[in-house]
């Protein structure tokens, strides 16, 4: 049997390019979902993620319209572009969901998170913790002889950086609200 003379880039198996053109790169996206404020809606949205093996990096929920009884769910998730598109499509099919916005794709957005950090220490560690808090514009909202509780608002990266610097100074607890985000004005 003789060898086939196939042009470079062709396949001897098919005339069609069957290789998927999907990206394998994971991206982080911030989704804003407007839903009816009624029992079970959050569970349905979260169930969509857990049932399909998707992870939620951050989640915040609050009622945004008292008269219209609607809430805004802000979800930060990571996945390939195809997974993100699938998540948005599936969210849009849930009945109490009114709108799904991908703030990462729609343009520039403002993201903020609130965190409380408890730092225990004495002597030079207390002084250094106060100095770093001042640099990061964190407020001491509680102070005892052995600890501080700092309140910091900013991007998740800023909070991560502040927490990393506080670890060697005696960081014992951290509580984070999750990302709240809005798209920037026109």
Q: How many domains, in total, are found in the chain?
A: 2
Q: Answer whether residue 179 is part of any domain.
A: yes
Residue 170: give its domain's CATH number. Answer: 3.30.70.1150
Of 56, 7, 67, residue with least CA distance to 33: 56
- DSSP letter for 182, please: E
pTM for the model:
0.79
pLDDT digits (tens, 9 = 90+) for 130-152: 999 999 999 999 999 999 999 99
Rounded-to-integer distance, Cα 76 and Cα 146, Å: 35
Q: Are residues 98 and 145 in the same domain?
A: no
Q: What is the pLDDT of residue 185?
A: 80
- If one counts every other C-beta atom within 10 angstroms of the C-beta of residue 101, the result is 19
pLDDT digits (tens, 9 = 90+) for 34-78: 999 999 999 999 999 988 889 999 999 999 999 999 999 999 999
pLDDT: which is higher, 138 or 94: 138
């Amino acid at each position: 049997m003789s060898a086939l003379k196939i042009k470079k880039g062709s396949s001897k198996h098919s005339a069609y390019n069957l290789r998927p053109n999907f990206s394998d790169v994971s991206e982080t996206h911030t989704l804003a979902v407007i839903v009816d404020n009624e029992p079970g809606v959050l569970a349905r949205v979260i169930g969509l993620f857990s049932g399909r093996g998707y992870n939620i990096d951050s989640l915040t929920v609050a009622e945004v319209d008292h008269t219209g009884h609607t809430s805004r769910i802000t979800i930060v998730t990571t996945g390939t572009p195809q997974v993100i598109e699938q998540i948005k499509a599936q969210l849009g099919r849930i009945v109490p969901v009114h709108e799904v916005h991908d703030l990462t794709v729609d343009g520039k957005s403002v993201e903020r998170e609130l965190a409380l950090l408890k730092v225990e220490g004495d002597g030079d560690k207390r002084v250094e913790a106060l100095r770093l808090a001042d640099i990061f514009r964190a407020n001491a909202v509680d102070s005892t002889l052995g600890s501080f509780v700092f309140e910091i608002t900013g991007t998740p990266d800023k909070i991560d950086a502040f927490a990393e610097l506080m670890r060697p100074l005696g960081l014992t607890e951290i509580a984070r609200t999750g990302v709240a985000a809005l798209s920037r004005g026109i």
